[in-house]
Every structure is written in structure tokens, then in C-alpha cells.
Amino acid sequence: MLYVIGLGLGDERDITVKGLEAVKGSERVYLESYTSILMVNKEKLEEFYGKKVIVAHRETVESQSDDILKDADKVDVSFLVVGDPFGATTHTDLVIRAHELGIKVKVVHNASIMNAVGATGLQLYSFGQTISVVFFTETWRPDSFYDRIKENTTLGLHTLCLLDIKVREQSIENLMRNRPIYEPPRYMTVNQAVEQLLEVETKRGEKAYTADTLAVGVSRVGSNDQIIKAGTLEQLVGVDFGAPLHSLVLVGHRLHLLEAEILRENAVDLERLNFVLKHDYNIDK
């Protein structure tokens, strides 16, 4: 049996009882390490689970999945995913491959940013399409997400922005020379994401959002030191959200009174927030 197990968002204790039982009964335990990160290291997991944990990098999961699935038709194998198992398409590919090999699969779900973003006070059923914001380079500054945001904006819906992480990335030189040398990990901040979003809006100029659009920046959701701050995009550029992981929500115009009240509790500047709520959202104090 292949167990695909969500670990939640915080630390080693966020695994479910069902997930922990599967891990303890598995012959091999893999930890997917490139679509997200936990707030603790692998050694903490091993201590809590009482099992050795094998780190599975991108190349292992995407190109060497048969190594993970080896003998999973005879023994139990656990594949651990930060958040929920189906938060990334890579994990769906692994399940499909297991089915092709006649291996039974059991999925154990957990919290992910896709539902934990409700901690912002914004109602989940008022969210539209989720987008990803990747690190810009000098030669690559993609803006395909802009059209998705504009569609959400037209419908008055909130937009969850998932921010890029770079783990075990190689420089062009090392890649061309086939040298297994990797760059230090990078995690996009709310500040960087906002700067890139505003750059794209300046280029496109279709008013999908502006510097005065209300947004909520979050970091380390699910941990004891999570941060949630609401303000305009322009304001969030100057907020220190601390260590990763960060996410960003653009607030849609179908904002409910109760949602606005929670935004006030997390406001960077309450006076400015109330002005924008009244002026742009027709919500008074």
C-alpha cells in the first residue's frame, strides 16, 4: 500500500492520528521537500514518528518515482506531503503511477493553505481562482496570472496568491556543466510578491488591482507565531512578515461586513483601512 499523507502546516505534531499510524506501520517513509516546507527539520519528524525519513527531492518524485513505489504492492510505503496531499499536481502524478503498477493507494488528508487561509477572516466560498507568483528574472517576467486575477476581480472574488519557493535550484552554468551544485533556498516574501504584482499592473494597465487594493499578507499559517496583516498593497510592501512561508490574498469587492470586521482587527493602519472600506467597498464603520 502507498500512503500519501498530509502533514498540515506547522510542525511534527500536526499529522493526523490516522497518518501517524500509517507512518509507524510503513517500511519506508519519504518526505516530499520541494513544493512546501514545515517549520521543523527532518530530524524532528524522525524523533516524533520513530522512523527514518528519506527526503524526496523534485528529481526523485518526478523522474524516479519507481524507486519510491518499489515493492509497495507487498509492503507499506508512506509519502509525506506538507499541507494536503493534493496541493500540488506532482502528487497526483505519483498516485496515477501507483495505479498503473497495480499498487493500492490510501490518501490521508490534512490542512493546507488552501483552507487555512480562512484564518484571515475571509470566507472560503468567496475565493476565486488561486494563482502562483514566481520569482522574476532579468529575462523572464511572466504575467499569465494577471488574467486570472482580473477574472476574479470582475466577479468580486478574493484571490489567493501562492508565492514561489526555490529549493535545490542550479545556476545555468552548473546545469550546463552537469555539476550537482545547488543555490541556497529562496522563499518569496509578501513584499516581493506585491512589488511584482504592481509591476505587472503598470505594464498591463487594465486595473485588475491597484496600489490601493486591499490585501492580506500572511506568514507561517498554522504556527504559534503566524502573522496576518491587512492593508493596501502599497502598505504591505513595508511590513516585515518574518520567516517563510508567506502567502498573499487580494480582497474582492463582494466583501461581507463580518469579513471587514476581521480585516480591521489585523489592520496595518486602521484609519486608512476604514477609508478604503468606505470608499472602495461601500462598508462604513
> What's the pLDDT tens digit per position in 128-176?
999 999 999 889 999 999 999 999 999 999 999 999 988 766 566 666 6
Sign of CA dihedral 137, 150, 128, 230: positive
pTM of model > 0.85: yes
Q: By the 8 A CB rule, do 201 and 169 touch?
A: no
Average of per-residue pLDDT values in the chain: 92
Residue 88 has pLDDT above 90, yes or no: no
Looking at residue 83, what is its pLDDT?
Answer: 92
Looking at residue 168, what is its pLDDT?
Answer: 63
Looking at residue 154, what is its pLDDT?
Answer: 97
Q: By the 8 A CB rule, do 85 and 91 touch?
A: yes
